[in-house]
């Protein structure tokens, strides 16, 4: 797939001004300008966020009603249950709110639907069970915004509901006591992209303020909030950046036995957003995907390190099984796409009887990345189908499903990722109508764009300048790792690694040599030769070997120089 290289249009004068005013490198200042962080206060907060940079939680819709009702439950010692999701965001949301409320003396339980048997969100069977167990108040986290019927059912059984969510609401909000979701049309909160755990955290902050608690009583959970926020791939800007930046410091020195065990299992040398995204999140998500969601919650709630280590061993095993299943489904999906020439379509919608619906979302992500088309994978069990979809920038997947909702039993999500269910006999009609929407959107014209922060040469690269970029961490959605372009490198050596999967180069510029690594770029070892002149775009990294630090380029794409 061809990739488009596109430069940011940097304001050079602004770069120099910020560099001088804040005593930072021009390399770092360039990235800030490219991210449109140019006002003095914004630069200050971005580089060094503090606990004072949290917004007022009472600006959130229905926050006061929720806080008053929860404090009433604490006073009356009412049985209260937190109903969450089975992914990292949901698990961490339950953890944070549960621990905080238990410390306030509330009799609080938790419920997580089984992904394989119940699916996402509120369901009436679970609500009936909750009512039978004597609960009077349900607080949803990371779900509930689309549960209009289910909330009504809870009220018919004599319970009250508080919804906290961060997903897109439908036209009609649930008739709950409070609906805290900053994507509501009437929202006045200054930031609407918190993760579900971020919303749960703001609820604890609001309760803490109302009860006159010290800040530490809710800030101490920022390690868990940080893990959920980074894992949910929400934009790491504004309040999410405050959560992630401060939270990672707590993760590094966490008191949670579960987090400690996960860090050891992940095996990362330093704690950063990559540690969470690629070390912790897959292990937690594997629980929900494989139908063992309770293990993940138990891991975060336990205060016993031996129990944490034992649960983590289970998580490692679930993750290994998930990886095996994912590979099989991916191979089968690619085979279907090639046999049916679906790569010629504007969208890719495929289904199969023997796929694991807890894993198809990951495969859909890989299919979308490979073909750069919106994709939906559906697994069939009898006459019922469950699906997951992923999109490309510019194509609103949730809006597309709204347009073909007549073929669906249920659906939800947002612009870039959705879940759905449908009957098998509606699959072909759904696929055809979805393809029409993709054609009308001209998704065939979409190309993967790599945004380049600055053109530099080896003279610009020093250990100090590269280390200065760490001030921009944590990296993630809306705060991508800076990418630079280097022109007219001569290939000094070239070889493939890991059975041809990855690419290893040494590159020469005049008399200076730099190492470069390209993950999943092994195919280029057959296209380029020693002595070829190439342009490289990539990320600057510090490589430490035998105690010696050096700069290397983590390549994202290469082309021959002209």
pLDDT (tens digit, 9 = 90+) per residue, 68-127?
Answer: 999 999 999 999 999 999 999 999 999 999 999 999 999 899 999 988 888 888 999 999
Shared domain check, 356 and 401: yes
CATH for 369: 3.10.310.30
Q: Is residue 301 part of a domain?
A: no
Shared domain check, 484 and 547: yes
Last residue in a domain, options 253, 273, 291: 253
Q: What is the pLDDT of residues 44-84, one digit of tens each?
A: 999 999 999 999 999 999 999 999 999 999 999 999 999 99
Cα separation of 22 and 38, whole Å? 11
3-class DSSP assignment, residue 196: helix
pTM exceeds 0.95, yes or no = no
Cα separation of 525 and 502, whole Å? 9
Shared domain check, 66 and 29: no
Burial class of 412 by CB neighbour count within 10 A (0 to 12, 13 to 18, 19+): buried
Tokens 């690629």 sit on residue: 278
Does pLDDT of 510 surpass 70?
Answer: yes
- Total tally of structural domains belonging to the chain: 3
Last residue in a domain, options 389, 424, 446: 446
Q: What is the pLDDT of residues 423-477, one digit of tens each?
A: 999 999 999 999 999 999 999 888 889 999 999 888 778 888 888 899 999 999 8
Beta strands in 265-395 (DSSP E): 348-352, 375-381, 384-390
β-sheet bridge partners, residue 540:
553
Closest CA to 542 of 456, 466, 460: 466
3-class DSSP assignment, residue 492: strand
What's the rounded mean pLDDT across residues 32-45? 94
The DSSP code sequence of 219-267 is HTTHHHHHHHHHHTT---SHHHHHHHHHHHHHHHT---HHHHHHHHHHT
Q: Is residue 385 part of a domain?
A: yes
Shared domain check, 421 and 464: no
What's the rounded mean pLDDT across residues 296-320? 96
Closest CA to 167 of 197, 198, 196: 196
pLDDT-based confidence at residue 261 (cuts at 50, 70, 90): very high
Tokens 């249950």 sit on residue: 81
Model pLDDT, residue 1: 60
Model pLDDT, residue 12: 93
CATH for 493: 2.40.50.460
Domain extent, residue 77, equals 53-253
Cα separation of 199 and 225, whole Å? 10
* Sheet with strand 137-141: strands edge to edge: 108-111, 80-83, 137-141, 160-164, 178-180
The DSSP code sequence of 81-103 is EEE--SSHHHHHHHHHHHHHHHH
Longest dimension (CA), the chain: 78
Q: Is residue 272 part of a domain?
A: no
Last residue in a domain, options 413, 446, 479: 446
Shared domain check, 455 and 441: no
3-class DSSP assignment, residue 62: coil
Shared domain check, 456 and 423: no
Q: Is residue 21 part of a domain?
A: yes
Q: Is residue 306 part of a domain?
A: no
Shared domain check, 102 and 85: yes
Shared domain check, 403 and 500: no
CATH for 141: 3.90.1640.30
Instruction: Read off φ and ψ for residue 250, nearest 5 degrees.
Output: -75, -35
Does pLDDT of 8 surpass 90?
Answer: yes
Shared domain check, 399 and 519: no
Cα separation of 40 and 46, whole Å? 10
Shared domain check, 238 and 101: yes
Shared domain check, 13 and 118: no
Q: What is the pLDDT of residues 202-245, one digit of tens each?
A: 999 999 999 999 999 999 999 999 999 999 989 999 999 999 99
3-class DSSP assignment, residue 105: coil
Specify whether the CB–CB gap between 30 and 37 falls below 8 A: no
Does pLDDT of 413 surpass 80?
Answer: no
Q: Is residue 305 part of a domain?
A: no
Does pLDDT of 194 surpass 90?
Answer: yes
Specify whether the CB–CB gap between 361 and 386 falls below 8 A: no
Shared domain check, 189 and 110: yes
Q: Is residue 106 part of a domain?
A: yes
Beta strands in 309-381 (DSSP E): 348-352, 375-381
Q: Is residue 270 part of a domain?
A: no
Structural Rg of the chain based on CA atoms: 25
Specify whether the CB–CB gap between 138 and 154 falls below 8 A: yes
């Amino acid at each position: 797939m061809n990739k488009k290289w596109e430069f940011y249009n940097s304001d050079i004068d602004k770069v120099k001004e910020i560099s001088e005013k804040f005593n930072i490198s021009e390399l770092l200042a360039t990235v800030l300008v490219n991210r449109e962080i140019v006002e003095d206060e914004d630069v200050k907060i971005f580089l060094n966020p503090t606990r004072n940079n949290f917004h007022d939680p009472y600006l959130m819709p229905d926050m006061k009603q929720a806080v008053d009702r929860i404090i009433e439950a604490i006073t009356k010692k009412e049985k209260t249950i937190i109903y969450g999701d089975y992914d990292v965001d949901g698990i961490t949301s339950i953890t944070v709110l549960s621990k905080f409320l238990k410390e306030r003396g509330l009799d609080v339980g938790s419920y997580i639907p089984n992904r394989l048997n119940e699916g996402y969100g509120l369901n009436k069977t679970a609500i009936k069970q909750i009512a039978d167990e004597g609960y009077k108040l349900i607080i949803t986290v990371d779900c509930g915004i689309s549960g209009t019927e289910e909330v009504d059912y809870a009220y018919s059984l004599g319970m009250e509901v508080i919804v906290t969510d961060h997903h897109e609401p439908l036209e009609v909000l649930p008739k709950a006591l409070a609906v805290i979701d900053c994507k509501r049309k009437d929202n006045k909160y200054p930031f609407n992209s918190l993760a579900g755990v971020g919303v749960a955290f703001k609820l604890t902050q609001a309760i803490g303020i109302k009860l006159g608690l010290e800040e530490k009583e809710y800030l101490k959970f920022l390690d868990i909030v940080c893990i959920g926020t980074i894992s949910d791939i929400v934009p790491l800007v504004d309040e999410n950046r405050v959560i992630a930046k401060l939270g990672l410091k707590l993760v590094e020195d966490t008191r949670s036995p579960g987090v400690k065990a996960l860090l050891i299992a992940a095996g990362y040398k330093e704690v950063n957003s990559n540690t969470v995204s690629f070390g912790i999140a897959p292990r937690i998500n594997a629980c929900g995907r494989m139908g063992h969601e309770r293990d993940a919650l138990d891991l975060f709630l336990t205060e016993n390190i031996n129990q944490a280590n034992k649960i983590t061993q289970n998580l490692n095993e679930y993750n290994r099984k998930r990886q095996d299943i994912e590979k099989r489904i991916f191979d089968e999906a690619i085979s279907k796409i090639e046999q049916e020439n679906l790569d010629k379509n504007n969208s890719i919608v495929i289904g199969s009887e023997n796929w694991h619906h807890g894993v198809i979302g990951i495969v859909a992500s890989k299919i979308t990345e490979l073909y750069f088309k919106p994709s939906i994978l559906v697994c069939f069990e009898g006459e019922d189908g469950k699906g997951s979809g992923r999109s490309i920038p510019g194509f609103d997947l949730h809006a597309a499903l709204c347009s073909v909702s007549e073929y669906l039993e249920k659906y939800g999500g947002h612009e870039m990722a959705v879940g759905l269910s449908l009957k098998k006999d509606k699959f072909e009609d759904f696929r055809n109508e979805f393809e029409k929407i993709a054609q009308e959107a001209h998704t065939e014209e979409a190309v993967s764009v790599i945004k380049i922060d600055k053109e530099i040469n080896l003279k610009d690269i020093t250990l100090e300048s590269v280390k200065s970029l760490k001030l921009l961490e944590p990296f993630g959605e809306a705060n991508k790792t800076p990418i630079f372009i280097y022109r007219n490198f001569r290939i000094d050596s070239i070889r493939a690694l890991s059975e041809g999967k990855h690419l290893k180069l040494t590159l020469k510029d005049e008399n200076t040599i730099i190492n470069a690594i390209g993950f999943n770029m092994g195919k280029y070892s057959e296209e380029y030769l020693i002595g070829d002149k190439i342009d490289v775009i990539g990320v600057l990294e510090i490589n430490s070997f035998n105690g010696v630090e050096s700069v290397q380029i983590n390549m994202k794409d290469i082309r021959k120089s002209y």
